[in-house]
A and B are shown apart, each in its own frame.
Chain A
Amino acid sequence: MRLLPHRPPPALPLTAATVALTLLATGCAAERDPGVYTIMNSGTDEPYHSWDQEVMDRCGAENGVQVQQLSVPADQLVPKALRMASSGSLPDVLIIDGSDLPQFAETGGLVPLEELGLSTATLSEGAISFGSHEGVYYGAARSVNSLGLFYNVDILAEAGVEPPRTWAELRETAAALTEGDRYGLAISALATEDGVYQFLPWLWSNGGDERDLDAPEAVEALEFVTSLLDDGLASRSAVNWTQADVNDQFIAGNAAMMVNGPWQMPVLREHPDLEWAVVEIPVPEAGATPVAPIGGETYTIPRNSENPEREELAARLVACLTTPEAQLDWSTKGSNVPVDAEAAERYREEVPQLAAFVDQVQTARSRTQNVGTDWNVYSQAIGTALQAALTGEASPADALARAQAQVESELRSRS
């Protein structure tokens, strides 16, 4: 322990050093077993991990190889993949979040999928743009997700209100539902991706754009969210809540409505007595198009200069893992939306409860579509502005003006 300035027995460091040197000497040159392919993802949670393994086993068998699934926690996936890249030990298939795809594609470390014979002919435009960086298609998607407005059916029925469709209706409904310890709405406003992701539907649906953060549309959007907290319709603790926390608040009955994604379904299903439904995120005015962020994973194939022939089999695995049938199967189990248009329609019929997400995904866009690898600069600035405004540290206009300046100076220092 750290309080003891102790001396370890000399045998220990010697062994450690020997092991380390052996690893250094042999680690890089490790031969890959031609019969075993590795796929790295962030599916550490059950039942997702087992579901993935089932599909991978099937696709492996079809191609005559064994597939190993290597799962690491989502927030460690990128650092881990980068470390593996530096030692040339990346897996055969790397499943990364769509918003991280540009970072990897930019390095030249990913193989364009069309080079490996994966055609984009049957894919929807949204699916292609989701998996592309600068016009090149690097990542095949299986399913995507977005945000929706979940509401507690019983509470709304009791208050005699309908789920809101516009900002004005959202405010009224939330006010009618706020009572005692219960808030009308729960949102996440963390400064990290959780909170930023949740702010984007307000920003984008109002015609705002991350590239123009001090524009009136953006200020209006932030003012709207801030007013929900100022008027006591949503909890001030939102600045500390992850999206999972928001879900807990909703389940506990501390909020009548929440903004959240379909990935909360497994937890919601554990509470069968809670009756909920989901609609699209309210828009500024009736008739406006909701624009929410699209999220999800993409299947990429890292370059393998030592064994290029492995790339081709990896591509066949990716194709097998992302067929419309596989998409529908996974989406139904994991409550995401299939990327394939036809599969999405069948999904709408099979899972009517989540139909709102199918609509939401149609008009949604990816975070990196316009700003590519610079997204994390924007994300950081938006997160800071969001928290500054919600905690009253700055007015929405000032907070966004600062964010815009921060982005500009940050981007200048990058170029």
Chain B
Amino acid sequence: MTMMVNRTSAPAVRERSQGVGAGPGRRGRLAQWLFVAPAVLYMLVFFGYPLVRNVVMSFQDYTPATYFTGEAPFTGLENWWAVLTDELFASSLWHTLLFTVGSLVGQFTIGMALALFFSRRFPLSGVMRSLLLLPWLIPMVVAGTVWRRVLDQETGVVNEALQGLGVVSSAIPWLSSPDHALISVILVNIWIGIPFNMVILYGGLQEIPREVREAALLDGAGPFRAFFGVILPMMKPVVTVVLVLGFMSTVKILDLILALTNGGPAHATETLGTYTYQLSFLQLDFGQGAVVGNVLILISMVFAVIYLRANRDGLEERR
């Protein structure tokens, strides 16, 4: 995907650098700004404003009364202090980390395996590949609600099957035990994320010329050597994109967990996403909710920068 984008944007960059040499006139510069203005305006209104508002809100005593009176006194670092010293914040952060890393490792490994599998042509491979996309098309809330039933301790299909096959002797408390819930939620999220990983990685694999693979095999590299020594390094830009985009959508997870466990049992699946939801919309403490939201934004920003750098490096390599 990125390669496609890079390829189309590369000539544009070149043309612009030639244009700079010629020196645009005043009219030209105005025209340039006019072209940029709509996008800038859009960004300011729909991204800039909420972002700044959220940061400001985290320093305010923002309660339901604020909506009526418009008054939200500044309280300095009080919200930040209250949230950062809360045990629930630390455990939410830890759960978010486990959830994100667990989901990404699972999604990526299985997605890559499937992508490699489908890169060999065999009858019905196209049909099967399309069918595997289904989890991606299902709304998160629907997936969560269905999985909640499927994983129910007593009446869920999974336990019935496992017990029927004699794999386990007693029902596994997938979602009802604090020791199991986080793992179960990660497993469901892996199931949801596999199609995304598979599609992008499959696209990446198609970009690698057949000859390169064949040459590696001819030179005596085994399938593992060929994969880790040739294919994976060549797919580095795609892999980076998959992982960074996957990270950004996973770290802020909310809907899936709300539908599956509501952050429970006993806060075992509380992540930063559900924690900020709890604070803002259940406790109506919008200031503290904003603090957690800001922490999430900060974390995502770090990875956005990594993503942009990776993108730019990829672009430069190609020029």
Contact of A192 among B5, B82, B175, B262 (CB under 8 A): B262
Interface-side segment among B16-24, B93-101, B263-271: B263-271
Set of chain A residues within 8 Å of B311, measured between Cβ atoms:
5
Known: A10-B39, A239-B264, A252-B155. A82 touches B245 (CB 8 A): no
Set of chain A residues within 8 Å of B153, measured between Cβ atoms:
235-237
Known: A82-B67, A384-B267. A5 touches B176 (CB 8 A): no
User: Considering the chains assembled together, what is the distance between the CA atoms of A385 and B196 in angstroms?
Assistant: 39
B249 and A2 form a contact (CB under 8 A): yes
Q: Which B-chain residue is minimally distant from A90 (CB atoms)?
A: B68
Q: Which A-chain residue is minimally distant from B308 (CB atoms)?
A: A5
A14 and B38 form a contact (CB under 8 A): yes
User: Considering the chains assembled together, what is the distance between the CA atoms of A86 and B286 in angstroms?
Assistant: 14
Known: A3-B200, A240-B261. A387 touches B266 (CB 8 A): yes
B68 and A236 form a contact (CB under 8 A): no
CB distance from B94 to the nearest CB of A (A): 16
A387 and B65 form a contact (CB under 8 A): no
CB distance from A386 to the nearest CB of B (A): 9
Set of chain B residues within 8 Å of A278, measured between Cβ atoms:
none
A135 at the interface (CB under 8 A from B): no
Set of chain B residues within 8 Å of A79, measured between Cβ atoms:
281
Interface-side segment among A34-42, A106-114, A167-175, A317-325: A106-114
Q: Which A-chain residue is minimally distant from B9 (CB atoms)?
A: A7
Contact of A240 among B148, B267, B282 (CB under 8 A): B148
B69 and A107 form a contact (CB under 8 A): yes
Set of chain B residues within 8 Å of A107, measured between Cβ atoms:
64-65, 67-69
A391 and B266 form a contact (CB under 8 A): yes
Known: A10-B38, A191-B265, A391-B266. A108 touches B177 (CB 8 A): no
B residues contacting the other copy or chain, number (CB 8 A):
48
Of residues 136 through 153 on chain B, the ones whose CB sits less than 8 Å from some CB of chain A are 148, 152-153
B70 at the interface (CB under 8 A from A): yes
Set of chain B residues within 8 Å of A237, measured between Cβ atoms:
152-155, 173, 175-176
Set of chain B residues within 8 Å of A238, measured between Cβ atoms:
176
Set of chain A residues within 8 Å of B265, measured between Cβ atoms:
191, 239-240, 387, 390-391, 393
B217 at the interface (CB under 8 A from A): no
Set of chain A residues within 8 Å of B42, measured between Cβ atoms:
13-14, 16-17
Most buried by A among B64, B78, B152, B173: B64
Of residues 16 through 53 on chain B, the ones whose CB sits less than 8 Å from some CB of chain A are 35, 38-39, 41-42, 45-46
CB distance from B287 to the nearest CB of A (A): 11
A413 at the interface (CB under 8 A from B): yes
A181 at the interface (CB under 8 A from B): yes
Known: A13-B39, A17-B38. A83 touches B67 (CB 8 A): yes
B125 at the interface (CB under 8 A from A): no
Q: Mark B50-66, 1 if CB is under 8 A from A, else 0.
A: 00000000000000111
User: Considering the chains assembled together, what is the distance between the CA atoms of A75 and B282 in angstroms?
Assistant: 9
User: Considering the chains assembled together, what is the distance between the CA atoms of A376 and B68 in angstroms?
Assistant: 20
A85 and B67 form a contact (CB under 8 A): yes
Contact of B266 among A20, A85, A384 (CB under 8 A): A384
A380 at the interface (CB under 8 A from B): yes
B154 and A5 form a contact (CB under 8 A): no
Set of chain A residues within 8 Å of B41, measured between Cβ atoms:
13-14, 17
CB distance from A245 to the nearest CB of B (A): 9
A5 and B2 form a contact (CB under 8 A): yes
A276 at the interface (CB under 8 A from B): no
B1 and A4 form a contact (CB under 8 A): yes
Q: Which B-chain residue is minimally distant from A75 (CB atoms)?
A: B281
CB distance from A55 to the nearest CB of B (A): 29
A3 and B245 form a contact (CB under 8 A): yes
CB distance from B180 to the nearest CB of A (A): 10
B178 at the interface (CB under 8 A from A): yes
B284 at the interface (CB under 8 A from A): yes
Known: A10-B38, A236-B153. A376 touches B282 (CB 8 A): yes
B283 at the interface (CB under 8 A from A): yes
A118 at the interface (CB under 8 A from B): no
Of residues 383 through 411 on chain A, the ones whose CB sits less than 8 Å from some CB of chain B are 384, 387-388, 390-391, 393-394
User: Considering the chains assembled together, what is the distance between the CA atoms of A391 and B264 in angstroms?
Assistant: 10
Q: Which A-chain residue is minimally distant from B64 (CB atoms)?
A: A103
Q: Which B-chain residue is minimally distant from A21 (CB atoms)?
A: B45
User: Considering the chains assembled together, what is the distance between the CA atoms of A181 and B159 in angstroms?
Assistant: 13
User: Considering the chains assembled together, what is the distance between the CA atoms of A393 and B267 in angstroms?
Assistant: 11
User: Considering the chains assembled together, what is the distance between the CA atoms of A388 and B268 in angstroms?
Assistant: 10
User: Considering the chains assembled together, what is the distance between the CA atoms of A277 and B281 in angstroms?
Assistant: 36
Most buried by B among A108, A235, A380, A391: A391
Known: A13-B42, A191-B264, A236-B176. A376 touches B64 (CB 8 A): no
Set of chain A residues within 8 Å of B173, measured between Cβ atoms:
236-237
B284 and A85 form a contact (CB under 8 A): no
A257 at the interface (CB under 8 A from B): no
A78 at the interface (CB under 8 A from B): yes
Known contacts A86-B70, A240-B152, A376-B283, then 17 further A-B pairs from the complex at CB < 8 Å, ordered by chain A residue: A3-B1, A5-B311, A16-B42, A86-B68, A108-B65, A109-B68, A191-B267, A236-B173, A236-B177, A237-B153, A237-B154, A237-B175, A238-B176, A380-B282, A384-B266, A388-B266, A391-B176
Which 5 pairs from chain A and chain B are nearest by CB?
Answer: A13-B42, A14-B38, A109-B68, A107-B65, A239-B265
